[in-house]
A and B are shown apart, each in its own frame.
Chain A
């Protein structure tokens, strides 16, 4: 079996009654998430007819998925592209620009050369990656707002790559 991204049915922005878009009011999302869970969590349906329990559990699963996707920038970007009908598989095949490829290689090399005990080096590399990430994110926001979906899809891929790099165990040593 080979994996590919699945489709989503519910519009999460309307589920949480948020303005659709990349910019997001995190407090409003959290508040809506908690209000919905407080009402629809299976614990609130214990003792109710089985059909209601089942539907509530399904809704709760949607609420949890929606929160997970919207609260994470990279997931949110991907979701927006999906909703806009962008073929993400094709976009991934098209890849990123060559200048970003060079950045990728250079960051990867720096990470490999990083000494475990060098906390200053870790700090500065983390900051450098974060800088690149912020750039890609802003470019995503900009291109997506301008309906340049293919460009946005490219910047989304950059975000994916950089955020994955930031979660490398070597950078997360405590």
Chain B
């Protein structure tokens, strides 16, 4: 039991004034933002020019790399070196983009852009954006950034989440949590703090490249994602492209050059934004066609062009409502710049029969929510925060005999989640099997997304159906999957952490980190040493406190063994070798796992005693009310 501290009369209690800094990052398709919550205010951290949002554009020239508005300037002159909307390609395969006229792919198997600075993967482009955000934030903050909450579309699959994590790692940012964008938006509105009985919230998020619809339920202290749906390839970029195609059509440009496409896109984006304010705009199109000077576009033309896309979002909304078995929505929050378009707002209001909430800037609301959550996760807790319970967006399963999918973890399961299922062999004498992990809702393997494939060998030869192989799926709180397979009789074991098939390998990331992405000036060893020591000290301190409090859970031998491992770690810490410290920390960590589990079992009792107590209290309160 923790003892309460009592200060000596007259002396001020010691207050820890140091506030650890966590930031929220909205890594968007079109624009990215970084925000910080200082305990009182949510601040979106702007760049030198005062612009809050950083265009998610990176320019890779022969002699320099630029990010944001500086990079955008090269979009027309050097379209091939100027990479925009890389988020659409995170965790995707080359095949999905080979026919895209807007992208110049580098030769080779992976998905990478051909630039004058060499082949650049979507992960590297995203890392450059993240590093730029970190760079603009650091001078504005009072201390080092401990970590970041990075938002992802709720619809992002496992590979896309992994790729996002890799990008952060590459940019030297510790990821505290990947948070679904709609959840972040609701947090920004403080809706998790409102003491309403129980209400359902819909978050309609139409950004540049993705559409998400999420249904959340709020109850005292709990914030639960009921269901998510949407389309990871639908957004404001489609609006721009539709209008750009319309402009090129009007000018009878049948086969536009890459530059013409870019110009048309920029004109379209500009026209779309201006049409939110006025009913009619004139566009200067001399850059597209020297013979024509102006084209007029009306709001109703735009709305006709957009309506199939808007309708697709509403279909997804209805499907998600049906999935969650929800009839009544109490609130709708609008997120994403594309919700500024009046036709979108009207369609949403009609669909839910509600006036949507939009008083926070729809472009900033996600970063703001992420910043609030980051502040909690770095340890600046008040103790009364709502808990965000997330779900996985797509079902996870295995290929079974005949190319069918056996679902192991269903879509919309609350995470973290672990599910085990037993399988057996199909042939007599079979000694190995391939575990093929897929994601999706369809019944046939070819209709789902293949995430990973690994082999389990060493199964003793038996008749078909006699072997018992337990396959376990574990999804962590970020929605990232690990799969293991164990043959029950021999204990033969094989496992894999699912990595994006077309992202970067672990070794590649290490190489890039070594090459010093943004640590060129930093002393790498000193940094690693510092990090290793912090982790080691946290473990030692935690264990000491735990042994004082719950030492009775250990036998004398167990205590002695732990103490010896602790002693060893302390000795190693005195030497300046980060690898040795990490190894000793890991050994001690493994050794103390059983102890940690026993302590948690004990605190289960305490947690539930608290419940019955508060229940008792509320009953008493009710009875005493006249």
Contacts and interface: CB of A to CB of B under 8 A. Distances in A.
Interface of A: 1-7, 15-17, 31-32, 34-44, 46-52, 54-62, 64-65, 67-68, 172, 174
Given A3-B421, A38-B221, A60-B416, A50 B535 contact: yes
Given A1-B423, A55-B596, A41 B389 contact: yes
Contacts of B589: 49-51
6 contacts: A2-B401, A32-B608, A41-B387, A44-B387, A46-B176, A47-B378
A167 to B, nearest CB: 10
A50 B585 CA distance: 10
Nearest to A31: B611
B376 interface: yes
A48 to B, nearest CB: 7
Contacts of B600: 40, 55-56, 59
A55 B593 contact: yes
B418 interface: yes
A73 to B, nearest CB: 16
A46 B401 CA distance: 41
Given A4-B422, A34-B221, A61-B418, A39 B607 contact: yes
B611 A2 contact: no
B450 interface: no
Interface in B390-434: 398-401, 406, 413-426, 433
Contacts of A39: 603, 607
Contacts of B491: none
B421 A64 contact: no
Most A Cβ at <10 Å: residue of B379, B538, B600, B615 = B600
A32 B419 CA distance: 21
A31 B618 CA distance: 13
A32 B611 contact: yes
Closest 4 pairs (CB-CB, A-B): A61-B418, A42-B477, A51-B589, A46-B377
A74 to B, nearest CB: 14
B87 interface: no
A174 B322 contact: yes
Contacts of B423: 1-4
B609 to A, nearest CB: 9
A49 B539 contact: yes
A35 B611 contact: yes
A125 to B, nearest CB: 19
A35 B610 contact: yes
Given A1-B426, A60-B477, 13 more contacts: A1-B400, A1-B425, A5-B421, A34-B221, A38-B607, A40-B600, A47-B378, A49-B535, A50-B535, A51-B593, A61-B417, A64-B415, A174-B321
Interface of B: 176-177, 221-222, 318, 321-322, 376-379, 387-389, 398-401, 406, 413-426, 433, 465, 469-470, 474, 476-477, 535, 538-539, 542-543, 589-590, 592-593, 596-597, 600, 603-604, 607-608, 610-611, 615
A6 B465 contact: no
Contact of A61 (B416, B426, B607): B416
Contacts of B416: 42, 57, 60-61, 64
A62 B472 CA distance: 13
Contact of A17 (B422, B596, B608): B608
A42 B318 CA distance: 32
A54 B593 contact: yes
Most B Cβ at <10 Å: residue of A37, A52, A55 = A52
A49 B538 contact: yes
A45 to B, nearest CB: 9
Given A46-B379, A49-B589, A3 B596 contact: no
Contacts of A2: 400-401, 423-424, 426, 465
Contacts of B401: 1-2
Nearest to B377: A46
Contact of A64 (B413, B433, B593): B413
Most B Cβ at <10 Å: residue of A4, A37, A46, A55 = A46
A1 B604 contact: no
A152 to B, nearest CB: 22
A43 B376 contact: yes
Nearest to B543: A49
A53 to B, nearest CB: 9
B249 to A, nearest CB: 39
Contacts of A52: 542, 596
Given A48-B542, A50-B589, A55 B378 contact: no
Given A2-B401, A51-B596, A61-B417, A43 B387 contact: yes
Most B Cβ at <10 Å: residue of A5, A51, A65, A68 = A51
Contacts of A62: 418
Nearest to A14: B604
A41 B417 CA distance: 11
Contact of B377 (A38, A47, A55): A47
Contacts of B419: 6, 65
B192 to A, nearest CB: 12
A7 B415 CA distance: 20
Contacts of A47: 377-379, 538
B193 to A, nearest CB: 15
Contact of B424 (A4, A5, A65): A4
A36 B608 contact: yes
A138 to B, nearest CB: 24
A172 B538 contact: no
B413 A68 contact: yes
A145 B424 CA distance: 33
A51 B590 contact: yes
Given A35-B608, A55-B597, A48 B538 contact: yes
Given A32-B611, A55-B593, A43 B414 contact: no
Given A1-B425, A2-B400, A51 B377 contact: no
B417 A64 contact: yes
B177 A46 contact: yes
Contacts of B604: 15, 36
A47 B425 CA distance: 43
Nearest to A49: B539
Nearest to B589: A51
A1 B322 contact: no
B477 A36 contact: no
Nearest to A61: B418
B554 to A, nearest CB: 15
Contacts of B424: 1-2, 4
Given A42-B477, A174-B322, A1 B596 contact: no
Given A35-B607, A49-B589, A172 B322 contact: yes
A36 B406 contact: no
Nearest to B591: A51
B418 A65 contact: yes
A2 B467 CA distance: 11
B593 A50 contact: no
B143 to A, nearest CB: 15
A38 B387 contact: yes
B400 A3 contact: yes
Given A2-B465, A39-B607, A57 B477 contact: yes
Contacts of A46: 176-177, 377-379
Nearest to B546: A52
A150 B399 CA distance: 32
